Amino acid sequence: MRHTLRRLGTPLALVAAASASSASDLTLDGQTSVQTPVGDSVQVELTGNPLLPTLVLADLGNGPVNLFGESLPLSFTFATTVVGQGATDANGSHTFPVTMPSNPALAGTFVYFLGLIVDGADPNNLDFSNGAELELVLPSTIVEANLAGESLVRYPYFQYIRAINEGDVVDVAVDPNLYPSVVGVTADIYVTAPKTQLGWDADPTLVDVSSDGADSFTFVAGSIQSNRVTVDPGSLSAAAGDGLGVGYDVVVDLNQNGILDGGDLIDGYGGEAGVYIVHDLTQPGPYTVREVLYNGGSFLSQDLYYPQNIAALGPRPLVVVSHGNGHNYQWYDHIGFHLASYGYIVMSHSNNTVPGVFSASTTTLTNTDYFLGNLATIDGGALLGLVDDSAITWIGHSRGGEGIAIAYDRLVDGTYVANNFDETNIALLSSIAPTDFLGPTQANPHGVDYHLWVGQADADVNGCANNDIAQSFHLHDRAEDLRLCTTLHGVGHGAFHDGGGSLVASGPCQVTRPETHDIMRGYLLPLVHHQILGNIPAKDYLTRQWEDIKPIGAPAGNCIVVDLTYRDSVDSGKLVIDDFQTNNAAALASSGIPVSFTVADVTEDRLDDQNTNFTHIVSDEMNGMTYGRSNDTSRGLVFSFDGADGVISYDLSAAMADVTDYTHVSLRICQGTRHPLTIAVLKDVGFTIALVDGSGVENDIQIANYGGGVEEPYQRTGFGCGTGAGWANEFETIRVRLTDFLADGSGVDLTDIDKIELRFGPSWGSAQGRLGIDDLELTTD
């Protein structure tokens, strides 16, 4: 905001008196004296007789200097600059903008302007204007910006992220092309305790909490790579108690005054901190856990875990675990103790799975109902009034995994009415290697948030195309709203519980039970913390590729391969570009926009293998896809590229062109198992995402630059699943931040995006591949 100073300076009055009859007039934003923030522009207007040459000068001194027989309000120092040159128009006006220097160190500097019109009507043919003055001030606005993250080796050279594992460095980057005010400025960069906007407004004092104090850094012109700095070497605390992530704000103090004020950049001005440091999620939380076994009657035996000090904590969310066939309700200590140590109440119950999955769903329902209805009796009433039943999580294993989906369906359909809850109490289902006996009419999560675990070495619910019952992915793709999937190479069916015995696994590079449980603990905690408690940094562990971030204690090694998918909810405000569920022609996206292809072998169809094995045959375009039965509707696209570049291009409509309301472009993508182009590579496949704006300016980013790629299928054989090696196609979600496409002054206009392109081939990543895609979206988070 500009301010106008009224200075009653005598020199101005003298100039006006000396040439009153034909004096030109000079204003800055309509005033003769203004305050303008550094980096802002001011509108200069010089008026006089029409159609005459003009000149406007600026200087740091206001004279007066006698020149051409006149006393001029300008000092004509070495700093004198011509800021405008032209002619008055037919109305006698010459108007133009002048941009002030952006260096905040210039705040307080006065700049003086003087205009000149070459006018023969003037006694000396030089019509000098009045003087005008401008005071440079600091911007009144704090600049909110993404600052914290991790440096990348390749473009876009930096990834702005929420969560950083404890002990990892925290880097800051400022793109000088996006924030020109930093160029040439030596700033102090602070990592501070987090504050809300109100907190910052009340106390803008900057106090650095990193081990090396505030970091002084001089920003330079050019590239983001030249403007990255480590602000903490890994010293920041992650001690969040029963939470996940300790937040910190990051401030670039451009005027080095130790105060957050106008012109400074801040990451974390609002309700969300700039960055979160996260502890080892595989480790137990702060609470001592009490475990209690009790029996409420036939198939009402329950194994209960809860924080011993729950009375002091208040109501806590409930997690119910429903085991699988031949399993036991006491085999989920790794889930119960872990989540209870973070404050959850976990109840694992005897599950009537042997008769079948419908019976299993009944015991999920009856046990949840019994628990909620008998809190006065269970463990002497210790949990009475302390169970938050507003957002219940159901976890089910194998038949129990299908059982929880059937149970939810029964609540939704009204075919089961519980005494103490209904479907609105159920917030999240997590199925571990579920069967699919009953298909979409009953084994259906509907719109509840749904998560799926699949072990690709599962030798029971084995995932082969020859048995619909054994294809766990079906349930995930039936989920209508928010859904997540965790696919694990080398993990067998029995690895998911802790009852000992066989891992029930087949395939190479098998993962042990302890390793599997570490993966489960490290993922389940952010899953429930985010979905149930709304924890912010937890989402990074659900949406970023495993190769990018994993819990500190997650097992390592070549055999540990984890693919994650995440699809946001409908009410997140996302823009679905193509989910392939409508407009079945490949050339028309579900959003109604045209799609063009130069990749090969394009097929849009249901994500369902057309025969009973994974053997590659040309006619089975959806080979390896096990995301639906014949009466399921999940659809996607498959295609190939072989040594030549190819593109899938989405022509955005005018209504979609402004993508600035969105944060990421996201899609799920997989390799096609046993296809010759998959076998030829047999490693991660890379590709590129490109944005093209309405002016034809484009920029592209290789997804490999973030550290990951599209995983090759698990190289498993047998089970009558055909010839060759490679198990079911496994999607993973790739997300790229839209503002990353602006890095280093690319010039792409995010307010006017014309095309989103997926580019494949030797110029864009891997030279060859057979891929499947789905759920191309622009997300809001």
Positions touching other proteins (CB under 8 A) are 293-298, 300-301, 324-331, 350, 352, 354-359, 362, 374, 377-378, 398-399, 433, 435, 437, 459-462, 467, 469-470, 492-494, 499, 501-506
Q: Is the dihedral of CA 191, 195, 196, 197 positive or negative?
A: negative
Q: What is d(CA 151, CA 165) in angstroms, rounded to the nearest whole number?
A: 14
DSSP H helices, 345-482, are 357-373, 399-413, 473-478
Instruction: Tell the smallest beta-carbon distance from residue 443 to other proteins (Å).
Output: 13
Tokens representing 12 are 């101005």
Q: What is d(CA 322, CA 349) in angstroms, rounded to the nearest whole number?
A: 6
Q: Which is nearer to other proteins, 329 or 580 (CB)?
A: 329
Q: Which is nearer to other proteins, 117 or 504 (CB)?
A: 504
Instruction: Tell the smallest beta-carbon distance from residue 457 to other proteins (Å).
Output: 9
CA 118 vs. chain centroid, Å, equals 59
Q: Which is nearer to other proteins, 115 or 296 (CB)?
A: 296
Instruction: Tell the smallest beta-carbon distance from residue 469 to other proteins (Å).
Output: 5
Q: Which is nearer to other proteins, 496 or 764 (CB)?
A: 496
Q: Which is nearer to other proteins, 351 or 640 (CB)?
A: 351
The 8-class DSSP code of residue 519 comes to H
Q: What is d(CA 223, CA 202) in angstroms, rounded to the nearest whole number?
A: 35
Instruction: Tell the smallest beta-carbon distance from residue 498 to other proteins (Å).
Output: 10
Q: In what order do the strands lie in the sheet with 158-160?
A: 158-160, 148-151, 170-173, 228-232
Q: Which is nearer to other proteins, 320 or 669 (CB)?
A: 320
DSSP H helices, 418-512, are 473-478
Q: What is d(CA 385, CA 732) in angstroms, rounded to the nearest whole number?
A: 41
SS3 520: helix
Q: What is d(CA 322, CA 332) in angstroms, rounded to the nearest whole number?
A: 10
Q: What is d(CA 83, CA 70) in angstroms, rounded to the nearest whole number?
A: 21
The 8-class DSSP code of residue 211 comes to T
Q: Which is nearer to other proteins, 298 or 763 (CB)?
A: 298
Q: Which is nearer to other proteins, 398 or 516 (CB)?
A: 398
Instruction: Tell the smallest beta-carbon distance from residue 599 to other proteins (Å).
Output: 37
SS3 543: helix
Q: Which is nearer to other proteins, 259 or 375 (CB)?
A: 375
Instruction: Tell the smallest beta-carbon distance from residue 370 to other proteins (Å).
Output: 9
Instruction: Tell the smallest beta-carbon distance from residue 565 to other proteins (Å).
Output: 23
Half-sphere exposure of 526 (CA within 13 A, CB side): 26
Asked whether the beta carbons of 391 and 423 are under 8 A apart, the reply is no
Q: What is d(CA 619, CA 356) in angstroms, rounded to the nearest whole number?
A: 36
Instruction: Tell the smallest beta-carbon distance from residue 250 to other proteins (Å).
Output: 49
Q: Other CB atoms closer than 10 Å to residue 292's CB: what's the count? A: 15
Q: Which is nearer to other proteins, 494 or 555 (CB)?
A: 494
Q: Which of 242, 458, 222, 220 is nearest to 345 (CA)?
A: 242
Instruction: Tell the smallest beta-carbon distance from residue 344 to other proteins (Å).
Output: 22
Asked whether the beta carbons of 426 and 317 are under 8 A apart, the reply is no
Tokens representing 457 are 């070495």
Q: Which is nearer to other proteins, 131 or 324 (CB)?
A: 324
Instruction: Tell the smallest beta-carbon distance from residue 501 to other proteins (Å).
Output: 6
Q: What is d(CA 395, CA 532) in angstroms, rounded to the nearest whole number?
A: 13
Q: Which is nearer to other proteins, 329 or 546 (CB)?
A: 329
Instruction: Tell the smallest beta-carbon distance from residue 351 to other proteins (Å).
Output: 11
> Residue 447, by phi and psi: left (phi above 0), alpha (psi -120 to 50) or beta?
alpha
Instruction: Tell the smallest beta-carbon distance from residue 302 to other proteins (Å).
Output: 9
| Cis amide linkage into residue 64, ω under 30° from 0 | yes
